[in-house]
Every structure is written in structure tokens, then in C-alpha cells.
Structure 1
């Protein structure tokens, strides 16, 4: 008889008790094939569910795969944080390494006096590249935007820190809050371009304090409440643009009623560090 694994549910990066991004977590995914993982992710219904399997002979190392209700994705930041918190609550805080399709992700977890766990993960080596102007304009058109809506300080580019994210920085606060889009059309463009993460849309007069809308129709989620891989990609983007700061606060989720906050540390070289916590969903 096929047994059903224990499925944990956490909300990661919550800025309020009602905020954060829900993720499913399966800590012992041995024996689950791709069909069952996909089915479980669809049944859970969150943006992503993470499936962790210990790596034999490598204490603290886990093979982790991420599935949206629609497909497998290479990496998911908020599900990574949720999984690391679940492991810390079960095994104790410390260092773990997740072997993902995007590369090895090092995780550090810390528990305060009340047992609340905070996690920092270091992304894989980032990449940033120019976004073809024709693709940019197609994307803008699908969002009801035009090139003059973009902040002239920050050109549209693609950034990778586990997933490729197109990054658009909007100049006007009201335009940022009010743009609308057709999810099926944006999803089709995302699949065409290989954007398996989110379309990252940002606003902020101060680049050290940004608000984000992360569009994820390719995963059957209109907007994601909190996106760790996009936060890491944003840090990589800012570094490539010559941003002089070493940290960024990203506020996300207001438009879907789940306020979230992600803290990003930007070292001079190497992976981008994203920090946050996760709380169990009863």
C-alpha cells in the first residue's frame, strides 16, 4: 500500500501574522516519484511545495526539489526558507546544504530564546544580462506599460540567482500599484523565454528600500506574496548596476493581502544572502 508522506505547511517571510508566502514541505521524500510530487503539490495548492531527501553519507546535506501546482521549478526561495526552518525545528539550528537543480544552496539557521528560527541562505553564483528590447516591450505591453514608465536609473534586465527573472523598475508609485495584466498571456511569454520564476516589478525612491510585485502566472499564481529567489536576483541586479549599498529591504505581498518582508545582503562578490523566518500554518 502506498503511504502518504507528512506534509508540513509554513508561511515564509511574513511581515504580519496574516502575511508571508505559504509553502508545503515534505522532509522525507524518499520513494516519491515525479508524478506523486506533482500530485502532492497540486493538492497542497501553494505556489510551491519542497521535497527534501537526505543525501546518504553527507550529514546536513539534502536533495531538494520544488514543484508548483503546474510544474517543477529549479529553485524557490520561500520554500527553501520554510524547509530549513522545518529541519531546524526537528533537528536543531545550524548549517545545512540543499542540493537543488539550480546548484548547492548553503543555509544557516538561528534560534532565539523563544525558539523562533531565522534562516539565511546564500544563492548560487548570480548572473545578470541585458533584456532584449523587443522582449521588454512585449512584456511591458502585456502589463499595460510603456518604456517611459520605467525608472531611468534602472534599465530592464534579466537576473539569475537560482531562476531567471526579468526585472522592471517602475518610476511612478501609482503606476506600480495600479498596473494590471492577463495571466494567461504573461504565462505564455514566460514559458517562451524560460522564466520559470517570477516577473519581478519593483518600485522605490531609495534602492535600499523597495516594494516588489512578483508575477507568477506560469505557476498558476497571479502574484506571489514573497519570493526569495527574486529577492536574491534583485540583489544581484542592483550590484551589477553599481548600487553602493550592502543591504536591501524588500516589501512584497500587499496586493494579495499577505504583507511580507525579505532582507537581502549584497556582498562584493559571490552569492546573494536572503534572510527571513517561517511559521507553521495550522
Structure 2
């Protein structure tokens, strides 16, 4: 049976460029035993399988797969799923992922419409955080020089006063040499620095975060849709 995949780019910049590709699939169209294979075939950093909510429902169930494993929580898949559900006419207030209940927000700001989720910082995978001297040093880093048994987050301030930083993420243990825009890492980093952040990651993706001292972090950004894919 053919499987239809909606392809999004999550955490695009103000011009709709960049962003991290995400595959979104109606969970009812794929057997659970086939989900990992499909995520590997697509090759995106994450693919989600969504149990579509009934009209008027406040929540939806989501399962998240990298090319090599299922994960309990990730930022760009939950932000992308929340945006996608609103576009199809079924906006929700929460997403249920294996890690817990993710709160959803749809925001209107001066720079445009943002979709955001709130999650516990301890839901995000552990990171090896590398504080570098400058954005240029971040951009010059070679993923091959970092150990393949951990997720590495490289960062440097662009403007400390504004909370603006430049980052890259290498996650080889999840089958991802470099992740273009990593919401879960942004959650960890926001809690680590204990402040709101404006993150430019990868080639130019943009992530906004809002810190809460209770351990919750809101992470959000812009989402755009690419052409879909049909498998099978």
C-alpha cells in the first residue's frame, strides 16, 4: 500500500528558507512494525506518525523515529506536527509523546506566525556541550572530529545581551551526522543558560526559546511545507 508523506521544514528563517526536514505520516496508514523501516528509507533526521484527532479534539498522539531508532521526545517533530494539525483544520492544545504531554501554542508576533511547544528539559537527550569562542569557529567545525557515541552541541554567542547564539548539532548515535535544527537541544541549552534564546543553527535555521525556572522550556519557530512524497 502506498504511504503519503507530508514533508515540512521546521524552524525556517524569516524568508521561509532553511529549516529541518520532517516527514509527517498518518499513523493509520502504516503498520507499527514498518515505521522504523520507513523512517530509515526517508532519511530525515526525524519522521513522525500521527494518530489524527477527531475535529474538536484537544490532543493527538505522536510517535517519533530517527533513521535508526524511536525516540521519546524531539523538538522539531512536535513543533512541525502541531503546525501541520492546525493547517489541516484540527489544531490541538497538547501532543502526547512517549516522554509525556507536550503543550502547544500558536503565536502571532511581529516577525510572523510561530508554532511553539513546551516540554521538560529533562525529556531531551543528554548533550555534550562545546562552548566555542566565536560563530566562525562553530561554522568551521568538522563533525568527523567528534565522538560518535554522543550528541554534540557546538555554540558561541552572536550577541550575549540579546540572547542570540550560533550553533550546530552532531548526533551520529541517532544516525544523524549533522542536525540542521534541533529543538530538543535548544530546550537543553535554554535550561543550561537559564534564559530565553534566539538560536541560529546549521545553515541558517532559526529557533526561539523561552525559559521557565520550573524546568519547562517553550521552543518555537516558523514551519513551511515542501512537496510531499509517496512511498510504495
Shorter-chain TM range is 0.7 to 0.9
Larger strand percent = 2
Aligned length: 221
Write out the 4+ residue segments of structure 1 that deviate beyond 6 Å after TM superposition: none
8 Å CA contact retained: 1:123, 1:271: yes
RMSD after superposition:
2.5
1:251 to 189, 200, 211: 200
Structure 1 counterpart of 2:160:
206
What are the superposed Cα offsets for residues 186-235 of structure 1, whole Å, 9 maximum, x if unpaired? Answer: 32x22xxxxxxx42111115171111111122233221111111111111
CA distance in 1, matches of 2:165, 2:30: 39
8 Å CA contact retained: 1:117, 1:278: no
Structure number with the bigger relative contact order (C-alpha 8 A, sep ≥ 6) is 2
Matched, 1:186 2:131: no
TM-score (norm 2): 0.84
What are the superposed Cα offsets for residues 251-275 of structure 1, whole Å, 9 maximum, x if unpaired? Answer: 0112xxxx10001111232310111
CA distance in 1, matches of 2:218, 2:193: 13
What are the superposed Cα offsets for residues 109-143 of structure 1, whole Å, 9 maximum, x if unpaired? Answer: 2479xxx852111012x3xxxxxxxxxxxxxxxxx
Structure 1 counterpart of 2:117:
121
CA distance in 1, matches of 2:32, 2:47: 13
Structure 2 counterpart of 1:163:
125
Structure 1 counterpart of 2:39:
41
TM-score (norm 1): 0.71
* Bigger Rg, structure 1 or 2: 1
8 Å CA contact retained: 2:53, 2:90: no
CA distance in 2, matches of 1:4, 1:106: 32
